[in-house]
Homo-oligomer: A and B are copies of this chain.
Amino acid sequence: MARAGRPPQDPARHAERAHRILDAAAELILRWGYDKTTVDDVARRAGVAKGTIYLHWKTRDELFAALLRRERVLMLDRVREAAPATLGELFGSLASALLHRPLLHAVLLDDSEVLGKLTRLKRQRPSIGGLELGGPFDAYLRELVKLGAVREEPAEQVMVIGSIFYGFMFLPGARPESERLPDDRVAELLAETVERAVGTGRALPPADAAAVARATLDLLDALADVARRKLATSMSPAKERVQ
């Protein structure tokens, strides 16, 4: 109640505060799990009043959605920075980035420890690991097939890649600490495995290799673009949104 001052309508400050709230939420959810993290906790940790949170999001769930969307954008940005030039590198970078974002990792694995009662509900969603399996990724794969970087039958290759990716993301958590490989090594092995599993094995002519690298970055840009647009929806003030 002691807080004075009426900051003018400063969008930058407003956005900064939203991010501060999301930071608080991320930290608390990771520590206590979604069920045990209250809006009041988040507000306190972010140094705002509870009501302020509802100036940004209509419900607690929307706050969480915004958080996940931001995680996604951050992850994709990191992948994009790594500038993967092949399918294997793409998934290696994805893995590496995902392992640095425990919330997304928890969503992928449907970890009830973290997600609480949200666990089963998310199952409905068709997306796996942040990649829509029909859609831009599918087009990307077909492109690589054309370029001779990936074998035929893209529909099956999608399943193969998905399985490998999921297995690599899951298994380390199921093994005793002592036998666990460092995250970076896991990512490297994943990259290698994907390449061997669905690659053609032939070396590509430089022009085609460049085309693959280009297609990969284009895909990431497209995914990041969608992700950023969704995030923007989640970050605009609650009142402005219709639904």
Which B residues are in CB contact (< 8 Å) with A174? 123, 128, 166
Could you say how many copies of this chain the assembly holds? 2
* Given contacts A126-B176, A196-B197, A197-B197, A163 and B159 within 8 Å (CB-CB): no
Known: A126-B176, A162-B167. 18 other contacts (CB 8 A): A123-B174, A128-B171, A133-B179, A156-B181, A156-B189, A159-B172, A159-B186, A160-B193, A162-B171, A163-B170, A166-B166, A166-B167, A166-B170, A166-B174, A170-B170, A192-B197, A196-B197, A197-B197
Q: Return the CB mask of A32-69 against B: 1 if under 8 Å, else 0.
A: 00000000000000000000000000000000000000
Q: Return the CB mask of A205-238 against B: 1 if under 8 Å, else 0.
A: 0000000000000000000000000000000000
The majority secondary structure among interface residues of chain A is: helix
Binding site for B on A (CB under 8 A): 123, 126, 128, 133, 156, 159-160, 162-168, 170-172, 174-176, 179, 181, 185-186, 189-190, 192-193, 196-197, 201
